Amino acid sequence: MKYPEWKRKFVDTNAAAGYNEGTGGGKMNILPNAAKAVIPIEKLTKYALDPMNSRGKWIAFQEALGYNLENADMLLSNIKQSLINYSAEQKGDKGYGQTYAVLMELTGANDRTASVMTAWLDDKSTGEMRLTSIYVKKRKGDLHD
């Protein structure tokens, strides 16, 4: 069996089925439809990285990972590429669709690594899996909220 056939049979099929191998060798539940997940750039530029609107989230992203309004597209790409490598935890459905949380370790534009919490909605009205919230997880001793 050649690599492309093996990848299609074992890797791509597992990801489509909603699980992937974790770093410990066990199976983990990845975000449903992770490959098609929608990350509105405005969620980054007008929320998480916006000094006028984010209540300090932008400071955490800048200091921890080197992300800001000028390189928001790099953060978006980093999330998309990393999403299938982390387990998704179901958080319930409050009427709009199933919600999920995915905690991931991202290496940023400054080559530093930090834990980033992402929240997702499997939107009943659109059928999209969409990012709804994102923030750098506070570590012991951090001064920022």
Rg of the chain over Cα atoms, rounded to whole angstroms, equals 16
pTM exceeding the 0.85 threshold for the entire prediction:
no
Residue 64: CB atoms within 10 A of its CB come to: 22
Residue type at position 86: Y
124 strand-pairing partners = none
pLDDT at 11 over 70: no
DSSP 79-145: HHHHGGGS-EEEEEESSSEEEEEEEEEEE-TTS-EEEEEEEEEEETTT--EEEEEEEEPPPTT----
CATH assignment of 31-136, given 2.60.40, 3.40.50, 3.10.450, 3.30.2320? 3.10.450
Q: Which two tokens stand for residue 110?
A: 């400054």
Which tokens belong to 132? 């709804």
Query: What local confidence, expressed as pLDDT, does residue 95 receive?
Result: 93
Confidence label for 9 from pLDDT (cuts 50, 70 and 90): low
Residue whose entry in the numeric block shows the structure tokens 């539940």:
29
pLDDT recorded at residue 140:
55
- Reported confidence tier of residue 25, pLDDT bands at 50, 70, 90: very low
The pLDDT of residue 28? 73
For 57, the token pair is 């989230």
- Region 13-21: mean pLDDT is 50
Report pLDDT digits (tens) over 39-98. 999 999 999 999 998 778 999 999 999 999 999 999 999 999 999 999 999 999 989 999
In the chain, domain spans: 1-30, 31-136
